[in-house]
Amino acid sequence: MISKTAYQGSTFDELHIFDGRITYQVFSNYMEPETIRNLELSKSRLEKLYYPNCIKTLKNYLKKRETQLNRKANSDSGGSRLSCLATGFYPRHINLTLFRDGQPASDHEITGGDLLPNADGTYQMRKSLEISAADKHKYTCSVTHLSLDNKLDITLGNELLQKKRVRTKTFKVSLSVCG
């Protein structure tokens, strides 16, 4: 990480943090005591607050991704994947939930859920759930967003999946842009 402080085209200081080593350089010959205090405060803030929090956040993110990547895949048992896709919505805040018989599906069963941008400035989110061939539950995709007057629920019984013999069933929810 590199942090530079500059004023009127001149660099006052540079702080380099790499591999846990911190180097700090001041490039001005004349500095007022107040400027020196501010630079030292900036250095301290970067060393003790921003850098540790940045590293901690990155490690947590990587740990979450590792958990998702190392999730054991189900063997091909003739089941299906149920996906709920909401796309074309703005602003970005959305609540998308998959329910099994009226109860929220547990987080460890759900894949996806990342908020992704679309090329037109709107957003999308997909959540998926593996369903076994013997599963007889009723599934609901529930969406709450500012562009909707009420909550939007789309329900599908597993028997419909069985009849159509589909491997993947996607609920697609397109939300209009509100602005």
Residues 112-168 pLDDT 10s: 989 999 888 888 999 988 887 777 888 888 988 887 777 888 887 655 545 444 444
Which H or E run contains 100? strand 94-100
In angstroms, rounded to a whole number, what is the distance separating the alpha carbons of residues 91 and 123? 8
Q: Is the pTM of this model over 0.85?
A: no
Highest mean pLDDT among 38-42, 90-94, 148-152: 90-94
Dihedral, CA atoms, 41, 47, 51, 55, nearest 10 degrees? -160
Number of other residues whose CB lies within 10 A of the CB of residue 69: 7
CB 124 within 8 A of CB 88: yes
Contact 84, 127 (CB under 8 A): yes
Sequence-distant (6+) residues with CB within 8 A of 26 are: 12, 13, 39
CB atoms within 10 A of CB 128: 19
Region 80-174: CATH code:
2.60.40.10
Q: Look up residue 118 and give its two tokens.
A: 């679309």
Beta carbons within 10 angstroms of residue 127's beta carbon? 20
Amino acid 28: pLDDT: 65
Domain with CATH 2.60.40.10 in the chain: 80-174
Backbone angles phi, psi at 37, to 5 degrees: -60, -45
